[in-house]
A and B are shown apart, each in its own frame.
Chain A
Amino acid sequence: MDIYTLSALELGHKIAGREISAPEATQAMLDRITATDQTVKAYLTVVPEQALAQAALIQQRLDNGEQLMPLAGVPMAIKDNISTKGLRTTCGSKMLWDYVPPYNATAADRLLAGGAVLLGKTNLDEFAMGNTTETSYGGITTNPWASDRVPGGSSGGSAAAVAAGEAVYALGSDTGGSIRQPASYCGVTGLKPTYGAVSRFGLVAYGSSLDQIGPLAKTAADCGAILAQIAGPDSKDSTAMPAGRNLDTTALLKSIEPGQSVKGLKIGIPAEYFGEGLQPEVRTAVEAAAAQLAELGATVEPCHLPLVEEGIATYYLIATAEASANLARYDGIQYGFRPTGQAYEDLADFYAQARTEGFGPEVRRRIMLGTFALSSGYYDAYYLKALKVRKLLQQGYREALSRFDLLIGPVAPTTAPKIGTTLSDPLQGYLADIYTVAANLTGLPGLSLPCGFDQIGLPIGVQLIGRAFDEATLVRTGVTYQEATGYHRQSPAL
């Protein structure tokens, strides 16, 4: 048995039972990274010494009988837009290439406090803006299933690392599909939690009203266990505070126990999620997954959702408007990239030089779009309009979820495209987010599960969307499905 093939809960169980030691597990993962990451290039930073030292410390704490989380000692990776104290957090950008945060993100802190072993930081689209991981200043990550294919994005490094066995699990972030879509392309399980379930403190902001941190792992049960550790109120995030609604972690932990059932669950299958441009194999696999759930006892019924196509414009206007302000702080003054040895006319010129050189083309394009949407004379027609359509969309999903426990559909219209084929036409790239952005606009939780392969062997994912803060039902359904199927157990030949 290779350690890197184990799920997080399996490995955690073996570490807790002294079958495998934390340093042994960490060394095995580091060896795997050495063997395969030259091809996959999932990591921007790997910290072998720190990881081994951490593993030794956790082993000692376990040996002392300390009560740690079920995943204590399990080696994992963190997307490089989640702040890690003393460890550079680049956001895949030249702008922050040497930026070392002086503090930990709350989600990272909670995992580390629970006994997680951090292997390194994973690649992403620059500032999480993209769905292929091709816009990173740190280079392209490849899909472990086919090295000429993208891993998806923006959490492409996290998804590829889990698929390649280079991390047992990883944290990602999802603003418009950035956990679910790469999970689908790489054949792993990814969960975008309800907005406000996990603190965003320390997550480098892209679209603040859409961003959520969540897990990518081999199984739905792993995702549930990781989420239980990172979720919960945080006094440092106004949108995840005790005053608001919070996740029921007891119910969530119950949902990962074996022997779950989906009997009696009502699942809606929206016709609009199977429109033009959907790859036939994706359609077939997703429909088969729905049929499988029906066979397991759920009721699956067709339904309708409004504004699925309009969601893209709504999402991009809101996300880029927020991003244009969130990324304004990167100006070469306080930290990060500052051009040297160049003359500048005035302060405005200094800023423009630092920002034009420090950001890549896709980030600059989105800043332009967002600045436009907020600018005088266009605010009402673009930004404000999008905020209103967002309300209509929310009403539509709320209405559907008053009749159904879950909605089911594809994650992405296609399987992973070839490297270098998407960036030439930005709009076409944006349109590929059609099935994922709604969960962010509505704040609802979404789970991406492996559900098959296309003709050339690329993984296909199915998406489940649940009610706000009802991750327990999502995870329970995922666990039940994965007990009945084997897609998530497949791994790429590397």
Chain B
Amino acid sequence: MSYETVIGLEVHVELSTASKIFCSCETTFGGEPNTHCCPVCTGLPGALPVLNEQVVDYAIRTCLATHCAITPLTRFDRKNYFYPDLPKAYQISQLHKPIGRNGHLEIETAEGLKKIGIHEIHMEEDAGKLIHDPWEDCTLVDYNRCGVPLLEIVSEPDLRSAEEALIYLEKLRSILQFLGVSDCRMEQGSLRADVNVSVRPVGSQTFGTRTEMKNMNSFKAIGRAIVAEAKRQIDLIEDGKTIKQETRRWDENKDSSFAMRSKEDAMDYRYFPDPDLVAINITPDWIERVRSGLAELPESRRARYIADWQLSEYEAGVLTTHPAIANLFEETATLSGRPKDAASWMLGEFMQAAKEQECEPQDLHMPAQSLATLIARVAEGVVNRNTAKKIFTQILENKVDPDAYIEQNGLRMVSNPDALKDKIAEIIAANPQSIVDYKAGKTKAMGFLVGQVMRAMQGKADPQLLNELLKDALDRA
């Protein structure tokens, strides 16, 4: 029998506000343990929450971008459970009146466009961090992350494969990043996903029993976990066994998941409206204010790059994977007036550098002004492309100013034919075999000699002129 995998995703993103959701402590990642804390976020007796307005703004942005219906009177509920990372023993979250419902995202799959339903979006507070201490055989608690604002974006079970799940996640991440509501750094835990997986025979209209998987810390792990879980469930069915509804923990090292110890009292969270907070009235005016300030989303930017700047689908697609890339590209293209060149630098050197340094694009030092200058200098013939690449690296690593660097290091391209002719004569004289090879039709010899001259001139030769003059010299030799 052939099976279909049914997947739903619960994505948690930490919002990029300056302060926490219910108090004024900073949200910065890391820091010495328990140094971004106050009575409110650590739940000391008598402390009370007051909602950060920016969290609502960010949530409205996200609802608008995912076509959710916004709840006019949204409120918070307490979700009760005991765990050491939750100092109040309840999480302030939303159950009864979440801010957004019934939205969708369109993803591009191999079979074409597909609409993935968003069941709801709600605001909540993050919990603290637990660290296992093997020496004392105990757990250490750091409350810094307690109260960092989160959005939970719950999809409908509309995804049918690991590939679709990853396309959805990438799309969602890029939207959240372009909206400026989250930096979505999985390695810092600012984007996390729980995955619900079930399988059913192809053609079946009812859902199979689902399991929930936690603890995946990369998109790659999510993809592998889905494939492994679907296989596990199919194997169980084929063996005539039943699937248990449970929460499973993904073990990246073992490439498999295992059931988390089930709690006897099957999680009765006893949600009820938090009496310490009041309803938030999201007026049409408020929504319009947010809508008018909404950042341009990747799809629209991509279309614009293709129409206005004649970029290819592929180029425009890559440039709109992250707002830092798109912003740098657009600024550079405008400043230099050479969008094609700007795209070429971004897709080549810039992406390469981000990959090598394994960092987020916004962490690279590359001011648009510097890159635009570099592009202009190449176009003007002041430096050649190879020299420009070296300067690019210098900008990244040492934050140099390109013009100053060119002057200080005498990198201006040599376009004086006389200076070149002398060097060419020298090199030809030193490499008689190459002339023989050239005459015998071996074009490789030409390349070799260009390289030799270029090296002798510290790479500063005007490559076009060099080619012309060398060819001339060889033909005459």
Contact = CB atoms under 8 A, between A and B. Distances in A.
Q: Do chains A and B touch in the complex (CB under 8 A)?
A: yes
Interface string A95-137: 0100101110100000000000000000000000000000000
Contact of B48 (A200, A331, A334): A200
A325 B46 contact: no
Q: Which of B45, B49, B272 has the most CB of A within 10 A?
A: B45
B82 A204 contact: no
A196 B84 CA distance: 32
A455 B82 CA distance: 52
A328 interface: yes
CB-CB nearest 3 A-B residue pairs? A328-B89, A209-B275, A374-B270
A147 interface: no
B87 interface: yes
A204 B46 contact: yes
Interface in B74-104: 78, 80, 82-84, 87-90
A237 B50 contact: yes
A89 interface: yes
Given A201-B46, A204-B46, A322-B275, 19 more contacts: A83-B45, A83-B46, A201-B47, A203-B46, A236-B50, A238-B50, A238-B277, A324-B80, A324-B270, A325-B78, A325-B272, A328-B88, A328-B89, A329-B45, A331-B89, A334-B42, A335-B44, A347-B82, A375-B268
Interface range, B side: 20 to 34
Interface string A327-364: 01101011100000000000110010000000000000
Given A89-B45, A99-B45, A329 B87 contact: yes
A424 interface: no
Interface of A: 82-83, 89, 91, 96, 99, 101-103, 105, 200-205, 207-209, 235-239, 241, 244, 321-322, 324-325, 328-329, 331, 333-335, 347-348, 351, 371, 374-376, 379, 383
21 contacts: A89-B45, A202-B47, A204-B45, A205-B45, A205-B46, A207-B275, A208-B276, A209-B275, A237-B50, A238-B49, A239-B275, A322-B272, A325-B272, A328-B82, A333-B141, A334-B43, A347-B82, A347-B84, A374-B80, A374-B270, A379-B272
Nearest to A370: B270
Nearest to B269: A376
A400 to B, nearest CB: 25
Contacts of B400: none
Given A91-B45, A235-B50, A238-B50, A329 B88 contact: yes
Contacts of A325: 78, 80, 89-90, 270, 272
Contacts of B49: 238
B48 A236 contact: yes
Contacts of B42: 334
B278 interface: yes
B417 interface: no
Interface in B256-277: 268, 270, 272, 275-277
B164 to A, nearest CB: 34
B33 interface: no
A208 B275 contact: yes
B268 A376 contact: yes
Contacts of B87: 329, 334
Interface in B39-67: 39, 42-51
Contacts of B46: 82-83, 101, 105, 200-205
Q: Which of A83, A207, A322, A334 has the most CB of B within 10 A?
A: A334
B104 to A, nearest CB: 31
